[in-house]
A and B are shown apart, each in its own frame.
Chain A
Amino acid sequence: MAKKEKITASGPKKKYGTLLTVLFTIISLLWISPIFVVILNSFKRKAYIFKNPFGISNVPITRGYDRWVKGVEKTFVGFLNYTNAINKTGFFKAFGYSLFITVASVALIVLCCSMCAWYITRVHNKATKVIYLLCLFSMIVPFQMVMFTLSKFANMLHLSNPVGIVIVYLGFGAGLAIFMFTGFVKSIPLEIEEAAMIDGCTPIQTYFQVVFPIMKPTAITVAILDAMWIWNDYLLPSLVLNVNKYKTVQIAVQNLKQSYGQIDWGAMMAVLVLAIIPIVIFYIFAQKYIIEGVMSGAVKG
């Protein structure tokens, strides 16, 4: 915080400050305005979304107030698009699957990868070295390289369901997570763990009572980065999951576009709003952790 204040002091003089505030208020409102346009259009009759995406009446106000109000009434349909969208996509079910897959995968990645990272940093032999190098290597492999074989293997191993895909995410996300956790474990002084072991703790007790609490900041970073990745992932679940039975939110949105390219834009607007709301709520509550996670994630990754 002290550093920030020093830079502040070297910034522009006060009179530019107000000007910049006004300028940035306008820019940042414009920046998020597409989201407001979608919210506005989600309440409109399908036919008016493309005719008049930014207005609220199909009659200009210059033609008289009464006619303008009638235009407003004609343009909006209340929650019709929402009921359509929920029926067409099975939104709440998809939301449930997305939530389960994200929470379970993130929890499993944080738990298993931090344990693995601690072990391979503390135990020095060829095997742990190879594991570390493989993790580094996996970080540079794009998903397209493994998508066909991975989805077929997952199918053969009966992992094409919301529980099985969690294991797939653990496997594919292990590289980055282990890399970040090992970076942190290296900075933990050995003495603390040795003291715990001398006091009679088994390695498992040592890990859960001493090491894991120290790792909390890295655990939060990994959790945030992986949650953002898994919640928004489209390709992996669309290939691994049995999509006739299980849809995530992303798959549900993409499926609104039919095979011949036709889109029900009323339902689409509504489903977009439904998909954005939980993210915004999560963002408001976890903003501090998200921003910190991105900052420290970038420095290490």
Chain B
Amino acid sequence: MEKAIKRYWPVFVLPTMAAFIIGFIAPFIYGIFLSFCKFTTVVDWKWVGIKNYTRIFFVNGKLDTTFIHSLWYTALFTVVTVLIINVVAFAIAMALTKGIKGTNFFRTSFFLPNLIGGIVLSYIWLMIFNSVLANYSKTIVSTQWYAFWGLVIVVCWQQIGYMMIIYIAGIQNIPGDMIEAAKIDGANNWQMLRDVIIPSLMPTITICTFLTLTNGFKLFDQNLALTGGNPGKMSQLLALNIYDTMYGTTGWQGVGQAKAVIFFILVAIISVIQNKLTTSKEVQA
């Protein structure tokens, strides 16, 4: 059978691969190449070696902290959102698997914000934040910390429903007899949670943690629409910082591309760790 199928590659594989080369492979390889060049379009490149990479941190011999700032700002943002989203989503999922009346409606409303895109979501909250803060003569971009918590609220509102759905699926997959057995053994609610539910949810917890982790790291739309990086680039997360470097000032495209390569390496490291963790967990289960 394999032989018969083999001849048909122009039908089955060619269209996808042609698009894959245009949409991913060529831009990726050329992107790495351009990070070592000075350029304004893809055809006027001039090789400059690692100069773009040093210019991320040093400008005219002086230390430039913008990228480092956005790096730790992103890291902090990611840690905070991962914690809040997962704890709240898990708590809601626990409550919504008890079979209380109206579960379907609750699930529907918690999930709804997730379907609305980052740009639209951000303007909804920008209006609410700024009209409330106006009473104190402040705006969401008064300081980087207003912007920080504003972004945290928007992202939590968006993602809690999504993670809740995944947690519900995980909780419903716990075998009922396991819980019955623990009950007969006299486990109280806390013991049940700590010794039965959480251990059997470990694969789900790993998935949700890494989904929220990469989502936090790659966040862009909400950042652009809610704060625009203000005040003075202080609330720029990594993705927006790269975008701003690339399209904000001419002559800096190479530096932006170099930042993107570093960003890619960071995201790749997180994904590889995730893959190691999930596969080892699967082997145990």
User: In the complex, what residue of chain A is closest to B173 when comparing beta carbons?
Assistant: A3
In whole Å, how far is A221's beta carbon from the nearest beta carbon of chain B?
13
The answer to whether B131 touches A149, judged by C-beta atoms less than 8 angstroms apart, is no
Whether, in the assembled complex, B228 has its beta carbon less than 8 Å from a beta carbon of chain A, the answer is yes
Q: A115-B11, A116-B17, A145-B263 are in contact. Are A298 and B166 (CB under 8 A)?
A: yes
Whether, in the assembled complex, A101 has its beta carbon less than 8 Å from a beta carbon of chain B, the answer is no
Comparing A57-65, A67-75, A79-87, A276-284, the segment that makes contact with chain B is: A276-284
B124's partner among A38, A172, A194 (CB-CB below 8 A) is: A38
* Chain A residues in 8 Å Cβ range of B30: 149, 153
The answer to whether B117 touches A269, judged by C-beta atoms less than 8 angstroms apart, is no
In whole Å, how far is B176's beta carbon from the nearest beta carbon of chain A?
3
Q: What's the A-B contact tally at a CB cutoff of 8 Å?
A: 304
CA distance A262 to B267 in the complex (A): 34
The answer to whether A144 touches B179, judged by C-beta atoms less than 8 angstroms apart, is no
* Chain B residues in 8 Å Cβ range of A261: 228
* Chain A residues in 8 Å Cβ range of B17: 116, 131
User: In the complex, what residue of chain B is closest to A239 when comparing beta carbons?
Assistant: B247
In whole Å, how far is B251's beta carbon from the nearest beta carbon of chain A?
14
In whole Å, how far is B193's beta carbon from the nearest beta carbon of chain A?
12
User: In the complex, what residue of chain A is closest to B161 when comparing beta carbons?
Assistant: A31
Q: A21-B100, A123-B5, A253-B123 are in contact. Are A3 and B179 (CB under 8 A)?
A: no
* Chain B residues in 8 Å Cβ range of A269: 127
Chain B 1-38: CB-based contact to A (< 8 A → 1; otherwise 0): 11011101101110111011111111110110010000
Q: A20-B98, A145-B261 are in contact. Are A152 and B42 (CB under 8 A)?
A: yes
The answer to whether A283 touches B263, judged by C-beta atoms less than 8 angstroms apart, is no
Q: Using a CB-CB cutoff of 8 Å, which residues 156-178 of chain A contact chain B? A: 156-157, 159, 167-172, 174-175, 178
Give the interface size class of chain A: 35 or more
In whole Å, how far is B100's beta carbon from the nearest beta carbon of chain A?
5
Comparing B53-61, B68-76, B77-85, B101-109, the segment that makes contact with chain A is: B101-109
The answer to whether A157 touches B118, judged by C-beta atoms less than 8 angstroms apart, is no
* Chain B residues in 8 Å Cβ range of A37: 124, 127-128
Q: Using a CB-CB cutoff of 8 Å, which residues 100-145 of chain A contact chain B? A: 112-113, 115-116, 118-120, 122-124, 131, 134-135, 138-145
The answer to whether B8 touches A113, judged by C-beta atoms less than 8 angstroms apart, is no
The answer to whether A53 touches B207, judged by C-beta atoms less than 8 angstroms apart, is no
Q: Using a CB-CB cutoff of 8 Å, which residues 284-301 of chain A contact chain B? A: 287, 290-291, 294-295, 298-299
The answer to whether B31 touches A299, judged by C-beta atoms less than 8 angstroms apart, is no
User: In the complex, what residue of chain B is closest to A32 when comparing beta carbons?
Assistant: B109
Whether, in the assembled complex, A213 has its beta carbon less than 8 Å from a beta carbon of chain B, the answer is no
* Chain A residues in 8 Å Cβ range of B101: 17-18, 21
Whether, in the assembled complex, B175 has its beta carbon less than 8 Å from a beta carbon of chain A, the answer is yes
The answer to whether B20 touches A204, judged by C-beta atoms less than 8 angstroms apart, is no
* Chain A residues in 8 Å Cβ range of B211: 298
The answer to whether B117 touches A231, judged by C-beta atoms less than 8 angstroms apart, is yes
* Chain A residues in 8 Å Cβ range of B124: 34-35, 37-38, 272
Whether, in the assembled complex, A215 has its beta carbon less than 8 Å from a beta carbon of chain B, the answer is no
Whether, in the assembled complex, A12 has its beta carbon less than 8 Å from a beta carbon of chain B, the answer is yes
Whether, in the assembled complex, B220 has its beta carbon less than 8 Å from a beta carbon of chain A, the answer is yes
* Chain B residues in 8 Å Cβ range of A283: 108, 112, 115
Whether, in the assembled complex, A241 has its beta carbon less than 8 Å from a beta carbon of chain B, the answer is no
CA distance A224 to B119 in the complex (A): 20
User: In the complex, what residue of chain B is closest to A228 when comparing beta carbons?
Assistant: B115
The answer to whether A141 touches B264, judged by C-beta atoms less than 8 angstroms apart, is yes
The answer to whether B110 touches A235, judged by C-beta atoms less than 8 angstroms apart, is no
* Chain B residues in 8 Å Cβ range of A210: none
CA distance A16 to B13 in the complex (A): 57
* Chain B residues in 8 Å Cβ range of A38: 124, 127
CA distance A7 to B30 in the complex (A): 53
Whether, in the assembled complex, A150 has its beta carbon less than 8 Å from a beta carbon of chain B, the answer is yes
Q: A10-B183, A142-B218 are in contact. Are A50 and B130 (CB under 8 A)?
A: yes
The answer to whether A254 touches B41, judged by C-beta atoms less than 8 angstroms apart, is no
Most chain A C-beta atoms within 10 Å of own C-beta, residue among B111, B127, B157, B173:
B127
The answer to whether B27 touches A119, judged by C-beta atoms less than 8 angstroms apart, is no
Whether, in the assembled complex, B50 has its beta carbon less than 8 Å from a beta carbon of chain A, the answer is no
CA distance A28 to B96 in the complex (A): 12
Whether, in the assembled complex, A24 has its beta carbon less than 8 Å from a beta carbon of chain B, the answer is yes
* Chain A residues in 8 Å Cβ range of B130: 50
User: In the complex, what residue of chain B is closest to A295 when comparing beta carbons?
Assistant: B169
Q: List 6 A-B contacts (CB under 8 A).
A: A10-B176, A10-B179, A34-B124, A49-B127, A145-B28, A203-B8
> A residues touching B (Cβ–Cβ < 8 Å)?
2-12, 17-18, 20-21, 24-25, 27-29, 31-32, 34-35, 37-38, 41, 49-50, 53, 112-113, 115-116, 118-120, 122-124, 131, 134-135, 138-150, 152-154, 156-157, 159, 167-172, 174-175, 178, 190, 193-194, 197, 202-204, 207, 228, 231-235, 250, 253-254, 257, 261, 265, 268-269, 272, 275-276, 279-280, 282-283, 287, 290-291, 294-295, 298-299
Closest 5 CB pairs of A and B: A171-B23, A6-B176, A232-B117, A8-B99, A11-B98
